Amino acid sequence: MGSFLDRLAALHSSASYSHAVDGSPPGRNICLFAVDESHCVSEWGHDFRPEYRKLGEGLRTHPVLGSIPLLALTATAVPRVQDDIVRNLKMRDERRVKQSFDRENLVISVKRKPPQGGYRVAFKPLIDEFTGGRGKG
């Protein structure tokens, strides 16, 4: 499939990318560039990918993307990795928001798989809750 940079180059040359980015005034179609799992751009991150280190330079020198806000998201970066992310992505005037991983809306539970029906039966109440009873299960 090629490296990340090969795929990024292929995306850049696609018609949909050109229409969305290159053919528009800054901020018209793209108002934010987000990098999820941004710890991957840091050599100190647990999932370091060398080609990601070039992402910041590519974004900041792009005629359109260089002028829009950049959001870097990670749930695992210690302060040293955060500093490396900011440096590698060439972020300016960054603001850091840190929240606890202990959130009220996240629940961890352990349930036994029923002997009859297996996972389908075990997950049906959860699927029904989120699909209003229209889920397949």
pLDDT tens figures, 75-117: 889 999 999 999 999 998 899 988 887 778 877 777 777 788 7
**pLDDT (0 to 100) of residue 27:** 46
Q: pTM here?
A: 0.58
Distance (Å, rounded) from C-alpha 18 to C-alpha 12?
7
> pLDDT per residue over 5-28, tens digit each?
566 666 656 666 556 555 555 545
Sorted by where each starts, the structural domains of the chain and their CATH numbers stand as 4-101 (3.40.50.300), 107-137 (no CATH)
Nearest by Cα to 9 from 57, 58, 49: 58
Query: Which residues are bridge partners to 10 per DSSP?
Result: none
Q: Per the structure block, which two tokens stand in for 49?
A: 């990918």
pLDDT value for 86:
94
Per-residue tokens: 86: 């900011």
Best CA proximity match to 64, nearest among 33, 37, 89, 41: 33
Of 45-49, 50-54, 82-86, 125-129, the one with minimum mean pLDDT is 45-49
Across the chain, the runs of DSSP E, i.e. the strands, are 33-35, 70-72
